[in-house]
Amino acid sequence: MGTLAGKVALVSGSGRGIGREVALKLASEGAKVVVNDLDAEPAKATLAAVEAAGGQAVSCIGNVTDADFGERFVQTAVQHFGGLDIIVNNAGYTWDSVIQKMTDEQWDAILDVHLKAPFRILRAAQPVISGLVKQARANGEAVPCRKVVNISSMAGTGGNAGQANYSAAKAGLLGLTKTMAKEWGRYNVTVNAVAFGMIKTRLTEAPSDSGGTIEVQGKEIRVGVNPQLAAAMEQMIPLGRAGTPAEAAGAVYLFCTEESNYISGQTVVCGGGFNI
């Protein structure tokens, strides 16, 4: 029996990178996981990996920025697993530019995926969580401590040149975290954030000769970090290296355990000792 046996978890953006590792970690500890990705194949791959390891998962494929996604995501958990205990708002990407070159489309897209989507998911989850709490209290049962973990970034805690949109969204998510900790404390829900530093994912790896890009709804978006800049950044990290997605998932897992039941409204920086 894992530490999360019987829990039901939503993990957005869990087809790749950090989100995938979070889904695998929670499942390995006994949680039943709703996997999500914009694309079907990565979601199916994570689902298969969870099941191959003996865990339970279902997929909810789609864009977290769609108006109906929050409701669909939450209801997938309820319909397949009968409840909801953990929400990890992880989905996102970067679309960088200095402010004088940043378009409204860039600004809106990044705010939508990193801030509006978590808001919609939490809004959709409220009636479900409230209902489960009322039912438990009516039955004279103890109300379990449920968990929300919002994924932020050191760009949100300290800013980052070329990322006005991303930094603003991730800073806004910290405000949402603190507010929801106050609103949902009465439901025995803890709401915390993990702000990542440099983690090795497709968004931070060195671009290839043909240029590093990701595709989001038919649009090619450049990602990646210049190798010289990445090396300089790693020299500034006290641990001397970038983190791995599995290590990032470990930080999220800490906020999902019962040992963190009296920690809420907090932000933990997972950055190898580097802090701004």
Point out the residues that are catalytic: 166
Nearest in space to 216 (alpha carbons), one of 68, 59, 80, 65: 65
Q: b vs e for 228-255, b when ≥16 Cβ sit within 10 Å of the residue's Cβ?
A: eebeebeeebeeeebbebebbbbbbbeb
CB 171 within 8 A of CB 215: no
Neighbour tally for 80: CB within 10 Å: 14
Looking from the CA of 119 toward its CB, the CA atoms found within 13 Å total: 16
Q: Which amino acid is at 251?
A: A
User: Residue 226 and residue 197: Cα distance in Å, rounded?
Assistant: 16
